[in-house]
Structures are given as structure tokens and as C-alpha cells.
Structure 1
Amino acid sequence: MDPFSDEKIFDSWSKNAPQWSEVVRKGKIESRRLVTNNAIVEAILKRSPQSVLDVGCGEGWLVRELADKVAHVSGADVIPGLIERAQDAGGGSFYVASYDEIAKGALDSLSDVVVCNFSLLGKESVETLFKAVPSLLAPNGAFIVQTLHPMVSCGDSPYQDGWREGSWDGFSPDFTDPAPWYFRTLGSWVTLFLNSGFRLLEISEPIHPKTHMPASVIFIAETTPNNPLQPTADASAE
């Protein structure tokens, strides 16, 4: 197995699904608890959506958080172990689907918001998903992405796109075999949106109250006018 690949990401998260679910549900990640959880919820709700699709939903915390605020909420993830935990906890509809399967039409409904919250770790699979998101959005819908801030997550490595080794530093010894991830500069993220048929409406940088550094970066985008992959209002009503 290629140590820097989407296959390796899948393998790692499959092994760590129980551990990750416990960490998220017990609020053990300080940056999420203090900053990023609220940041992504606020970004979604200010769009006043009637429907939200969480792509890469993990064990389903965001779907549950939105369940009493949005009429229709659903989540999809490639890891069956995470989806099983999401389904057990409830709050919405959940589906096992890879980004490639989503791009091929595995999900046939349209949503006012498609969100990816710290779930864009790979290279080709992420690029494939970006191309497919317009076909998942209802007219005037938004694509919202929260991810690691490139300037902070770069560390001592060169500030250039490329695969990075994963780490479970700061987590319990129960975690094993960390997943690699594909680093993108801020400019590369912007280019990915533009090349996938989006226009960026907003880029925000939630600040950690203790470090006073960006805890993440949030992109909010809409499809460009006359995007052939964007469903029309008539089509969405059928």
C-alpha cells in the first residue's frame, strides 16, 4: 500500500474509528471545543438552509448539532465504522459512500449547503469531489469547507503542496497508524475552488483564544453563473 495515498487514509481511519468517535463525543480536542465547532455551525446557519449534506461526516456530530436547527440533515462517509456510530446516535440520514462514489451519483438529493469539515485529506479524491459538488447543490446553494489553516499547519516543512506524514501527537496511545494528508497552500485552495466552477464569497480565519493564531480557515463558495453542473430551479423541483 502506498503510504501517501487515499487508500492509506481509508485504512488508517478504519482502524481508528472507535477511538476517534470517543474523542469527538467527549470533547477532548480543545481547538474544536473552543473554536472550530462553533465556527462551522455559525457559517452554515447564517445561510438559513433547509437542507444540509455533511460530506466526510465521521461519527456524525455536526449532523446531530444541526438536527434541531435545519429541517433536513444528512451525512456521508467512506468509513463504515464511523457511519454505524452516526446511525446509532441518530439526528439525520447517513450513508456509506466514498468521494469517488459521490462523484458518480451515489447521493441523488440536492442540498442548500454541502459542508466538508476537516474531511478533505487526500489529493485526487478531493479534486474529484470538488468537481461533483455543484451537482449536489440546490439553486443558490453554498459549499462550505473548514480545514487546517495552511500557514499554521505547514510547520517547518516547505510551504508548497504535497503529501505529509500524519501524527496522533496529543492523542491517547489507543490511536494507531496515523493517516497521511495532502497539504495545500492557501493559494492552492483558492485555485481548487475556482477551477471546480465556484466563486468564493468569504474566507474566514477563526482565531484560537489561547494561541491567538488561526485555528482553521473556512471557505464559503457558490457555483459560478451558468455552471452546467448546477441544477436549475426547475430541475430541483422535480
Structure 2
Amino acid sequence: MSASVGETRILDAWHDNAAAWERAVREGRIESRKLVTDQAVIDAVLARSPRSVIDVGCGEGWLARALAAEGVPVLGVDAIPALVEAARAKGGGEFRVLTYDDLAAGVLEARADVVVCNFSLLGGSSVDALLAAVPPLLAPGGVLVVQTLHPLVAEVGAYADGWREGSWVGCGEGFGQAAPWYFRTLAGWVASFATAGLSLEELIEPIHPHTGRPASVIFMAGARQGDGDEQASRRSISGHRT
């Protein structure tokens, strides 16, 4: 699968399955989320005592609402209008329709103590471009929190970065074609963060209580000293060129 095909199929699949996904989340159909991963990402974000959060790939806004209940203001962004509309209907934060290309282009003029990506980094080049745009979004001392599928869960095939077919298994009924996703090894993730000007500060492996195996992996990465300010300055300068 070519990179361009994979990236396009991801967006197409999420546009087509937005309503089914919103129902699955609202009805609590996904066992691992109920047992482990939802609370794991909430705990990871709140551990930083953030005054503000940007939720990238916010979906129907459940995480924003959970953080709002703890007194944390959240800006949620997502590329799928139907999911953003569902988030706005339930409230709990500010929600905008923005693609990862938009974020990579620097259109979001905001900073937060935490930028969180909860199971929302599925692509290859699109994710690399997004990660590179994160340092200017971080307030001083801020951190990127990424929760994603643990590489141990995807044991089929070679342990190497590359495209794989996705699945809606475990999400309930009503889904169509699944989105593909770009598998990264642990080393692949660390390399992607480093290339983006981010330094890994912590790695958390939430354990599934029934299987005893990691249900996910959570990366916490901060901007390298000066990277966020330098990139923000460059973006500001480029925005005022004539």
C-alpha cells in the first residue's frame, strides 16, 4: 500500500464510520477502553496538572468532557465534521474541525500544557508532519501525551514499521470498511518523536486486568530545549512575510 493511498483511506473510513464510532463510544462497547485505556489516558494527562489541554483527534469529545469534569479547559480538534458536531452537542470544551495537514501547516494558534493524542495517530507521513507541529503548541514545560496500540498487540507479520489493515473487531455493529494504520515499533515511535524535536520523558504500559498484557502504550514527550519557541518564532516570521 502506498503512503498516499493509506492516508486517504484513513480519512475515508472515518468519514464513513463516524456515526457507528460515536455510538460505540457512547454505549461503552469497547471492553479495553472501559477496563483500562480511558482511565489510563485521563490519569496521564492529569498527572501533569495542566491548566489547558489540546485534544488532537478528539472524536466525539469524551476525553474533553472527562477532563472538563476535573476543571481542565480543553480545545478539541478533529478532521471529521460529524464527530466534531457530536462533541459540540455534548459540550465540555471548544471543538474545531481541523485536519492534521492544517495542524502541520501551523493554522492553530494556541498553546497548552498538554497536547494529547488518544488512539488518534494512525497514519504514516501525516503523523510525522503532525508531530513536527507539536513543539510550537506546547506551553513552556508542556508535554505531548500519546496513547496508541501496544506493538505486542500486533504480533502478526514482521516487527517492522509499515502499513497494516485495520479492523473494527470489538467495537460492535454498524461499521463498514476499516481504516488501515501505520504500525510503528517502539523504536520507530522514539525515532519519530526525536525527528519532530521531541524528547521521550516517560513510557507507560497500562495492563489489561484479564490478559495480563499491555492494553496500550502511553508516550509522554516534551519539546527539546528551545525547539518550541524557535519553531513558533519561525512560524510567526513566515506568517508576516510579504
TM-score (normalizing by structure 1): 0.93
The separation in 1 between residues aligned to 2:72 and 2:167, in whole angstroms, is: 37
CA contact under 8 A between 1:51 and 1:70: conserved in structure 2?
A: no
CA contact under 8 A between 1:4 and 1:180: conserved in structure 2?
A: no
Root-mean-square deviation (CA), in Å?
1.5
Q: Compute the displacement of 1:169 (Å).
A: 2.2
Task: Report the 3-state secondary structure (helix = DSSP H, G, I; strand = E; otherwise coil) of the residue aligned with 1:229.
Answer: helix
TM-score (normalizing by structure 2): 0.91
| Change beyond 3 A, Cα 1:48–1:159 | same
**Which sits farther off after the overlay, 137-146 or 171-180?**
171-180
The separation in 2 between residues aligned to 1:39 and 1:163, in whole angstroms, is: 26
Which blocks of at least 5 consecutive residues in structure 1 are unaligned? 232-238
1:59 aligned partner: 60
Task: Report the 3-state secondary structure (helix = DSSP H, G, I; strand = E; otherwise coil) of the residue aligned with 2:159.
Answer: coil
Q: Compute the displacement of 1:173 (Å).
A: 3.9
| Change beyond 3 A, Cα 1:230–1:143 | farther
2:231 aligned partner: 229
CA contact under 8 A between 2:84 and 2:97: conserved in structure 1?
A: yes
1:18 aligned partner: 19
For residues 106-152 of structure 1, the C-alpha deviation after alignment (integer angstroms, 9 at most, x for no partner) is 21111010000000000011000000000111111110100000122
CA contact under 8 A between 2:24 and 2:172: conserved in structure 1?
A: no
1:113 aligned partner: 114
The separation in 2 between residues aligned to 1:95 and 1:43, in whole angstroms, is: 24
1:200 aligns with 2:196: no
Q: Compute the displacement of 1:230 (Å).
A: 5.7
State percent identity of aligned pairs.
53
1:219 aligns with 2:219: yes
The separation in 1 between residues aligned to 2:173 and 2:23, in whole angstroms, is: 13
User: How many residues were matched structurally?
Assistant: 230
1:168 aligned partner: 168
Q: Compute the displacement of 1:195 (Å).
A: 1.4
For residues 164-208 of structure 1, the C-alpha deviation after alignment (integer angstroms, 9 at most, x for no partner) is 011122343410011100000010001111111111110010000
Q: Compute the displacement of 1:74 (Å).
A: 1.1
Q: Compute the displacement of 1:6 (Å).
A: 1.3
Alignment of 1:128-147 (within 5 A): 128-147=129-148
Which blocks of at least 5 consecutive residues in structure 2 are unaligned? 234-242
The separation in 2 between residues aligned to 1:170 and 1:74, in whole angstroms, is: 29
Q: Compute the displacement of 1:104 (Å).
A: 1.4
| Change beyond 3 A, Cα 1:68–1:172 | closer
The separation in 1 between residues aligned to 2:152 and 2:16, in whole angstroms, is: 29
The separation in 2 between residues aligned to 1:173 and 1:60, in whole angstroms, is: 21
1:191 aligns with 2:191: yes
Alignment of 1:150-169 (within 5 A): 150-152=151-153, 154-169=154-169
Letter in 1 for 2:203: I
Task: Report the 3-state secondary structure (helix = DSSP H, G, I; strand = E; otherwise coil) of the residue aligned with 1:16.
Answer: helix
| Change beyond 3 A, Cα 1:212–1:4 | farther
CA contact under 8 A between 2:32 and 2:208: conserved in structure 1?
A: yes
For residues 2-37 of structure 1, the C-alpha deviation after alignment (integer angstroms, 9 at most, x for no partner) is 794111111101111111011111111110000000
CA contact under 8 A between 1:49 and 1:70: conserved in structure 2?
A: no
The separation in 2 between residues aligned to 1:4 and 1:183, in whole angstroms, is: 15
Q: Compute the displacement of 1:212 (Å).
A: 0.4
1:48 aligned partner: 49
CA contact under 8 A between 1:139 and 1:230: conserved in structure 2?
A: no
Letter in 2 for 1:208: H
CA contact under 8 A between 2:73 and 2:93: conserved in structure 1?
A: yes
